[in-house]
Amino acid sequence: MCAAAAEFDEVGYAGASLSSIAARLGRTKGAMSYHFSSKASLAREVVVTQYRQWEVVLERLRDDGHSGLDATVMLSFIVAGRFRDDVLVRAGIRLQHDAGLHDGDLPTPFLGWMRIVGTLLTESEPPVALPPGLDAQSAAEVLVEAFTGLQQVAHRLSRARDIDARVEHYWLLVLPAFGVEDAQHRVERLRAASAAY
């Protein structure tokens, strides 16, 4: 799985091949095809595995009693850190954005995250103050769009080494719309708290 993730991460879906993934493992393509019949099925496996871990993180955030907005901020730092450090997460996220991979068997990207963030904002206790003109779902969509671009830019410009600072700036620009007065202090605190996850 990690060999496939590394291959997809480095050369993208279109550039990846079963034989070079096999070569990373010191095996022949024939031996590997026994387990994975196609590049598409390997890609699917990487994407689905990447998704599963977020359910665990979300459950912990809920159990620890964070408000919906705080949980969203923490989640963004957690995802950013793994995107930077974990090739499986990076490959999973980038594969989903890859224009060449429209085989219908993968979940449509973005929608799952929009649902998750929308639910966090809707069910938050205490309730989240929404910006005038936006409901929780529209706000969640913008947050996911912006975070998607942030990941892409960070990856392209610094291989995501500076992603934490970018996430911090993103929240400084966005939190005032949710009525947060001392955004700097709040972001500092949540960034530190997210390190435990």
**DSSP secondary structure, the chain, as one string:** -HHHHHHHHHHHHHH--HHHHHHHTT--HHHHHTT-S-HHHHHHHHHHHHHHHHHHHHHHHHHTT--HHHHHHHHHHHHHHHHHH-HHHHHHHHHHH-TT---SSSPPTTHHHHHHHHHHHHS-SSPP-PPTT--HHHHHHHHHHHHHHHHHHHHHHHTTTTHHHHHHHHHHHHGGGGT-S-HHHHHHHHHHHHTT-
* Shortest distance, position 31 Cβ to a second copy, whole Å: 27
Site mask for a second copy (CB under 8 A), range 116-155, x = bound: ---------------xxxx---xx-xxxxxxxxxxxxxx-
- In the complex with a second copy, the residue whose CB is nearer, 58 or 106, is 106
Is residue 57 part of the contact set for a second copy (CB under 8 A)? no
Choose which of 25, 31, 48, 173 interacts with a second copy (CB under 8 A): 173
Question: Total residues at the site for a second copy (CB under 8 A)?
Answer: 46
Which of the ranges 25-33, 46-54, 64-72, 175-183 carries the binding residues for a second copy, by CB under 8 A? 175-183
Which of the ranges 7-15, 43-51, 68-76, 116-124 carries the binding residues for a second copy, by CB under 8 A? 7-15
Is residue 49 part of the contact set for a second copy (CB under 8 A)? no
What value does the CA radius of gyration of the chain take, rounded to a whole number of Å?
Answer: 18
User: Which tokens hold the place of 57?
Assistant: 């993180």
* Shortest distance, position 1 Cβ to a second copy, whole Å: 20
Site mask for a second copy (CB under 8 A), range 73-112, x = bound: ---------------------x--xxxx-------xxxx-
Is residue 193 part of the contact set for a second copy (CB under 8 A)? no
